[in-house]
Structure 1
Amino acid sequence: MRLYILCDEDQIRDRWLNCFTAVNPTILENFSSFIESNSIVFAYDVSLKRLSDLETKILFLRRVMVLSSVPDFDDAQHFLHLGAMGYGNAMMHESHLHSAYQALEEGKVWLHPDFITMMISQIRTQKSTHDKSLAVLDVLSHREREVALMLGDGATHQEISDALDITVRTVKAHASAIYQKLSLKDRLALSLLLHS
């Protein structure tokens, strides 16, 4: 799977290049319709804003990770709505860049943990049919249901451990069982299920 870097700012582009030397990424200063459909594109948000609507639509048919010097929650939602598979800070730690690349390579979505927390918080404020959505939890044990509700409200594993007086390892085991029983991938999917 080929990695393309769409960025016209030298400092950021060079940083990403240094981070992914082993993958030997291809640099794009402008849009190219010849990007293979199964490719990953790390795109600088400023560079994306220079694309036409058609170029943007074509680009987002690929696995696109949008990175911004000034990350913004509304921009993240906008790019995810367009089809981006990830959003983060252009200058985030190298480990996060590698984690994002790996997630996109596996066909998964990647967001910085802070953005996931913000999304869960926003979902919680948009509650409407919360009681109806709780019926899906009937397949869970009493303790799994408690953990699921706390996960869905954005609590960390440690916070759940402290509140329920169980170990973090037990919380993680309950979380795995919850995701499996409800056919969900992660806590964001759980939150969406509970609060949509």
Structure 2
Amino acid sequence: MRLYLLSDDSALRDRWMSSLMILKPTVSSMISSDIEREAILFVHDTMIVPMSETEIKDLFGRRVMVFSMTPDFSEAQHFLQRGAMGYGNAMMHESHLHSAYQALEEGKVWLHPDFITLMISQIQDRNSSKEKSLAVLEVLSPREREVALMLGDGATHQEIADTLEITVRTIKAHASAIYQKLSVKDRLALSLLLHS
């Protein structure tokens, strides 16, 4: 899937280009309507500010990851509500850039784990229907249920592994099985399922 790196900051474009060279991205300082609809767009948030409402709506009809030099949780929420599939620090590590690309390619959302935890806690604050959560989890094994509830409450893989005294690798295996059985894509979707 074609990747576009869109920023009005030449140093940032160069940094992304060198980090993502293997994906052969197209680099631009403009957002063009000629970009194919199925492409993945990494967009610097400063590019969105001068856009019209129509242009913004068109932009977020695509697979867009928004990057900010000063990431902010409320800004992340704003862009995700508009239709962005990801939000992150413009200067994040190369491995996270690749991870974000892969998530968007698979149709998943990518956020920094701290932002996911904050979103999950907000979801929990608005809703708390344990009875529905338990009914949804009946398709899972007892251990998977235990892991699912902890994931849905915002615990990290490491925290769950420490609590249950098993390896992170085992937690990841349980998480994959849980997501598949419940037809959810990730931890955030699981939390929404359990707390909505």
Q: Secondary structure of 2:66's partner?
A: strand
Normalised to the residue count of structure 1, the TM-score between the two structures is: 0.89
Distance 1:5 1:163, change over 3 A: closer
Number of aligned residue pairs:
196
List structure 1 runs of 4+ shifted beyond 6 angstroms: none
Q: Is the 8 A contact 1:44 1:67 kept in 2?
A: yes
How big is each residue's C-alpha offset from its partner over 1:57-113, in whole Å with a ceiling of 9 and x where there is no partner?
112222111000011111111111111111100011111112112222232221122
Cα RMSD for the two superposed structures: 1.9
Aligned partner of 2:163 in structure 1 is 163
| Contact kept? 1:66, 1:86, Cα under 8 Å | yes
Q: Which residue of 2 aligns with 1:89?
A: 89
Q: Distance in 2 between matches of 1:145 and 1:181?
A: 11
Does residue 68 of structure 1 match 2:94? no
Unaligned 5+ runs, structure 1: none
Shift of 1:139: 2.4
CA distance in 2, matches of 1:33, 1:142: 50
Give the letter aligned to residue 50 of structure 1. Answer: P
Structure 2-normalised TM-score? 0.89
Shift of 1:31: 2.7
Secondary structure (helix, strand or coil) at the match of 2:50 reads coil
- Alignment-mate amino acid for residue 37 of structure 2: S
In structure 1, distance between residues paired with 2:16 and 2:170? 38
After superposition, the C-alpha distances for 1:28-65 in whole angstroms (9 at most, x for unaligned) are 32331111111111111011111111111112222111
Q: Taking structure 1 as reference, are residues 34 and 172 closer, same or farther at Cα in structure 2, changes over 3 Å only?
A: closer
Q: From the superposition, tell whether residues 102 and 168 of structure 1 become closer, same or farther in structure 2 (CA, over 3 Å).
A: closer
Aligned to 2:7: 7
Would you say 1:58 and 2:70 are equivalent positions?
A: no
Note the 1:80-119 alignment, pairs <5 A: 80-119=80-119
Query: Unpaired segments of 5 or more residues in structure 2?
Result: none
Matching residue's letter, 2:163? A
Matched, 1:180 2:173: no
Aligned to 1:27, the other structure's residue is in SS state: strand
User: For the residues of structure 2 that align with 1:74 and 1:29, how far apart are their CA atoms?
Assistant: 26
Q: Which amino acid aligns with 1:55?
A: E
Instruction: Give percent identity, aligned residues only.
Output: 70
* Partners of 1:60 and 1:84 within 8 A in 2: yes
Partner of 1:142: 142
Residue 144 of structure 1 and its aligned partner are, at CA, apart by: 2.3
2:126 paired residue number = 126
Which secondary structure state, in structure 2, belongs to the residue aligned with residue 64 of structure 1? strand
Rg comparison, structure with higher value: 1
